[in-house]
Amino acid sequence: MEIALTILLILLTLLTLAATAFYLLSLYAAARFSLEKRSEVKADYQPVSIMVPLAGADFRAYDNYARLCRQNYPAAYQIVFGVRQASDTAIPIVRKLIADFPDCDIVLVINPEVIGTNLKVSNLRNMLTEAKHEQLIIVDSDIRVQPDYLRRVLAPLAEPQVGMVTCLYRAATPPDFAAKLEAIGVTAEFAAGVLTARLLEGVKFALGSTMATTKKILQTIGGFEAVKDYLADDFMLGKLTARAGYEVRIADCIVETVMSPIGFAGMMRHQLRWGRSTRISRPAGYLGLIFTYGLALAVLVCLLSLFSTGSLILLAATLAIRLLTGWMIGVRWMNDQVLKRNFWLLPVRDLLSFAIWCLSLVGKHVEWRGRIFEVKRDGRMVEKG
């Protein structure tokens, strides 16, 4: 028993040190991204269709959608909203938007046709028939953008090797404590992982906050039909684009996600859905996340060693490096005011993330919009009756 405990302590200590190295690597990755001189692309801006799939009225939806209508963009652009049902509660908001912005080219598509398990993808496929322009931007409905959004996202797409452009994001003001905990993880945890992946292997995925591409490239990778049964449709669209030989670029602008009041149970369901789907579709990558939970591992070392001097030193050093990483990436470089105001919650969020990771190691069912799915090994999902 004593030998087993010693081995476990050594293993946890090594994992903690590896996680601390990951923190430093993510700090370097973020610094490199933020200081990287963007190529000065003299883009011949082309018309673009912005596609926003809807499923019910989002929290503060009108303001989110109105931001898209106020773009400082030199070419024509169209906004295509799509719902599946004529009773969708988002429709009155879009109707008001059309009335308030008569000079903006806004289209509302109502089409119940289904092509696969992922209803959002079915919605996008239905909307595509109304998209006028070759350039496309797909934006999640809870995303809020700045007036120069189109310019900054579409400039990289002018480079022939770039097949998709995506965006990092931070949270707008969260409406409750659970949303605040989730928001803190967006820049202090998720963004750090994205930038580290970019450094190590390049960007072979996309984020639902923004996916800019063209109809030609979308057709090349199989269209929306290629991702119709995947839960992580944004990830797969980016993966297929990279697999087709194109570069997936992270734009130099940061958008905001507007979170709704979700409560702790809702936040846990959302996090577990992401965790389990990631574990099933990318098992090696998900196991590798253990190297991102240095603070939780250091706490375990303290508990098992009965708070020995060495374990306390390890915990203090790990905490200091973790806080430095969170501040520099989230607050300094991504200007996350939510994280800045609630920075004391970062260790709490880290410990919660580790608990969610442990829970996600088992189970293959997820809840999404009130429906229960089984996620298959390749990332596809099957609805359970």
The residues spanned by each domain of the chain are: 2-34+276-383, 46-143
The alpha carbon of 8 is separated from its chain's Cα centroid by a whole number of angstroms, namely 34
Asked if 139 and 224 count as a contact pair (C-beta separation under 8 A), the reply is: no
Tokens in use for 112?
């119940």
Q: What is the pLDDT of residues 235-263, one digit of tens each?
A: 999 999 999 999 999 998 999 999 888 88
Cα–Cα distance measured from residue 385 to residue 383, given in angstroms and rounded to the nearest whole number = 6
Cα–Cα distance measured from residue 16 to residue 198, given in angstroms and rounded to the nearest whole number = 23
pLDDT for the residue numbered 262 = 82
The parts of the chain modelled with pLDDT lower than 50 are 39-40
pLDDT for the residue numbered 293 = 94
Buried b (16+ CB within 10 A) or exposed e, 260-288: eebeeebbbebbbbbbbbbbbbeeeebee
pLDDT for the residue numbered 157 = 92
pLDDT for the residue numbered 369 = 67
51, 52, 53, 54 alpha-carbon torsion, rounded to 10°: -160
Instruction: Please count the other Cβ atoms lying within 10 Å of the Cβ belonging to residue 359.
Output: 14
Could you confirm whether domain 46-143 is CATH 3.40.309.10? no
Asked if 187 and 235 count as a contact pair (C-beta separation under 8 A), the reply is: no
Q: In terms of pTM, does the model score above 0.85?
A: yes
Q: What is the DSSP-derived secondary structure letter of residue 214?
A: E
Q: What is the pLDDT of residues 72-103, one digit of tens each?
A: 999 999 999 999 999 999 999 999 999 999 99
Asked if 169 and 257 count as a contact pair (C-beta separation under 8 A), the reply is: yes
Tokens in use for 171?
């949270």
